[in-house]
Amino acid sequence: MTPKKYVRIWGNWKMNLTGPETDQFFDSLTALKFESRAELDAGLFVPTLQLERALARGMKLGVNIGAQNAHWEKSGAFTGETSGPQLLDVKIRHVLIGHSERRQFFGETEETAARRAISLLDQGFHVLFCIGENRTEREANQTLQVLEKQLMPLLALKGKGLDPARFGIAYEPVWAIGTGLSATPEQAEETHAWIRSWLDKTFGASTSALSLLYGGSVTPQNLGALLKKPNINGALVGGASLKPDSFLSLCQIALS
């Protein structure tokens, strides 16, 4: 397989791993001789409490570290939230926004997800914005309408454009997350191609440099076939990013 110019492999640890387990992960990754390369953007979205620890260890290996969420306001009465300035203070510059678990369990809406993304981009963050349909919506042939509804509030960024260096989209069908039932490479590519053409049309400029990551039961077994597709520029990986050996395999496959 011809290596793509730039591949992104980001893990999403969700609410997993304590401090000592985080240290163990990086100890093993170091022992496995993890090596970063210019063509690979490897990173992990870790729980808030592990951000500083993971960053100190990740920096040595060339693994980027990001937060799993952040608020649109810079400070204020928002109990339980984390702000951009607080993340910048501990040198975190990457953030995941609008993950389906935030939408499903914590009341994140199209508007609040977009509001977070827009504010954090303004504050200089790298944002990975998640979208995806659930099983009922896919079965009712509503996938594209659902994705369009999730993307639409980003139109507020039209004047500024979407900076491919700091903005990416993760397409994660909810029915594929944590189920072992990944979308097929063809299903994922079809949707990614639609997302790209929608963005091109709506933003009135080519988004060919913008990275579109696929997420949902990605493993070392299915990643290679997904990455062969022209509009799949990387993966957002939950379960398979929690083990250092499989995270390493994912990164190696991305480079092969």
The residue sitting closest to ligand PGA, measured at its beta carbon, is 238
The residues facing 94 across adjacent strands are 66, 126
The residues facing 126 across adjacent strands are 94
- The CB-of-110 to ligand PGA minimum distance in angstroms stands at 18
| Binding-residue total with ligand PGA (CB under 6 A) | 13
DSSP string, 162-196: --TTTEEEEE--GGGTTTS-PPPHHHHHHHHHHHH
Which of these, 217, 223, 212, lies nearest to 251 by C-alpha position?
Answer: 223
Selected catalytic residue, list 71, 94, 99, 126? 99
With contact defined as beta carbons under 8 Å apart, do 26 and 20 qualify?
A: no
Give me the count of residues in the chain. 256
Which of these, 90, 97, 128, lies nearest to 112 by C-alpha position?
Answer: 97
Nearer to ligand PGA, 172 or 189 (CB): 172
- The CB-of-100 to ligand PGA minimum distance in angstroms stands at 7
Which of these, 45, 79, 77, lies nearest to 64 by C-alpha position?
Answer: 45
- The CB-of-206 to ligand PGA minimum distance in angstroms stands at 27
Distance CA 205, CA 169 (A): 16
Q: Is 99 labeled as catalytic in the residue annotation?
A: yes
Residues 162-221 that bind ligand PGA (CB under 6 A): 172, 177-178, 215-218
Nearer to ligand PGA, 72 or 247 (CB): 247
Which of these, 166, 75, 78, lies nearest to 118 by C-alpha position?
Answer: 166
Nearer to ligand PGA, 123 or 191 (CB): 191
DSSP, collapsed to helix, strand or coil, labels residue 140 as: coil
Residues 220-249 that bind ligand PGA (CB under 6 A): 236-240
Q: Is 172 labeled as catalytic in the residue annotation?
A: yes
Nearer to ligand PGA, 207 or 217 (CB): 217
Residue type, 232: I
- The CB-of-125 to ligand PGA minimum distance in angstroms stands at 18
- The CB-of-253 to ligand PGA minimum distance in angstroms stands at 15
Pair of tokens at residue 136: 């009922």
Nearer to ligand PGA, 120 or 223 (CB): 223
* Neighbour-count burial for 85-112, b at 16+ CB within 10 Å, e otherwise: ebbeeeebbbbbbbbbbbbeeeebebeb
- The CB-of-172 to ligand PGA minimum distance in angstroms stands at 6
The site string for ligand PGA over 122-161 (x = CB under 6 A, - otherwise) reads: ----------------------------------------
Selected catalytic residue, list 101, 108, 133, 172? 172
Nearer to ligand PGA, 83 or 236 (CB): 236
Catalytic (active-site) positions: 99, 172
The footprint of ligand PGA (CB under 6 A) covers: 12, 172, 177-178, 215-218, 236-240
